[in-house]
Amino acid sequence: MSCPLCDDTGWKPIEDEKGVRRVVRCECWREQGGHRRLADANIPKRYQHCTFANFAAYNPSLERAIEQARRVPDRFPSANNLREQGRGLLLEGPPGVGKTHLAVAVLKQVMDATGARGLFYDTRDLLRVIRSTYDPSIRTTELDILRPVMTADLLVLDDLGAEKTSEWVEETMNLIVNTRYNERRLTIFTSNYLDIPDDSDPNSLLFRIGFRMRSRLHEMCEFIEMDGADYRELPVNGGVDDLVTLWKMRKKSLPARAGRQARAQLREPAVRDGKADLKWPGGRAGS
């Protein structure tokens, strides 16, 4: 069925207060553009339903996370001024607490409100696609993949640090992050690895991504630690009350997660027998 306002031309006639007739973009054209941008954003089907409205913030950690996440679309500029936005986000915490849900909610809200070009990639999948371009039978080039990743107005890189470390991985990820850093383009990261300054612990973000990228991320992003139940363990037809129960059981069964005070102790390590003690007292992220 054609649009009754523009007959599918994308332009509708209007008459201003002086009786002058002209044409302007029709609402259907804007809606179609929004649908196209959303389809091009590469958001997995599993997360296409994610919004702020259906995010369950059932504890103080998740309440703080959604509050800070909501600020990103609010301060994101119009499409005419995309390089003056604020900082992105790095959502960190154990699997299943809603990091990807919140990242996608921000991405969709920004795209809908501003017309920005958004893009979602699981970090491992992005690296796999880039590697595939080295196959002579594949006509897509490495630059074809990297260009939209580095130039998207808003990029979500999911599961940072989950990829197997190598010199090539480090160089590729640093190229992406450094380019977006220099161009002041907003980026949202999620990671199962906590940001603790211990480069010898394979379960720390620093060990997974290195000093250089971590330094960039601290300038590019607000770091938000999320704690909660693993929603994948939620019973069929379970609700928020069940998540609260699972979260409380998890807190009882696992060693206490180190908070800001423990992080401060790590940044100023105690000296024992002339050697700095950098042991992480909490549970291991990603386990």
**Which pLDDT value is given to residue 273?**
47
Nearest 5°: the CA angle 205, 226, 243 is 135
| Band of pLDDT at residue 245, cut at 50, 70 and 90 | very high
3-state helix, strand, coil in the chain (%, to 5): 45, 15, 40
List pLDDT tens digits, range 13-50.
Answer: 887 777 778 777 666 655 665 677 788 999 999 999 99
Mean pLDDT of 5-11: 71
Using alpha carbons, select from 34, 29, 222 the residue that is nearest to residue 113. 34
166 φ/ψ sector (left φ>0, alpha ψ -120 to 50, else beta): beta
List pLDDT tens digits, range 110-154.
Answer: 999 888 999 999 999 999 999 999 988 888 899 999 999 999 999
Helix (H/G/I), strand (E/B), else coil: 69: helix
**Which pLDDT value is given to residue 37?**
79
Whole-prediction pTM:
0.77
Is the CB of residue 285 less than 8 Å from the CB of residue 192? yes
Is the CB of residue 189 less than 8 Å from the CB of residue 88? yes
Helix (H) or strand (E) holding 128, with range, is helix 123-132
Q: What is the dihedral of CA 47, 49, 53, 57, to 10 degrees?
A: -30
Mean pLDDT of 243-258: 76
Mean pLDDT of the residues in the chain: 83
Is the CB of residue 253 less than 8 Å from the CB of residue 118? no
List pLDDT tens digits, range 40-80.
Answer: 999 999 999 999 999 999 999 999 999 999 999 988 875 45
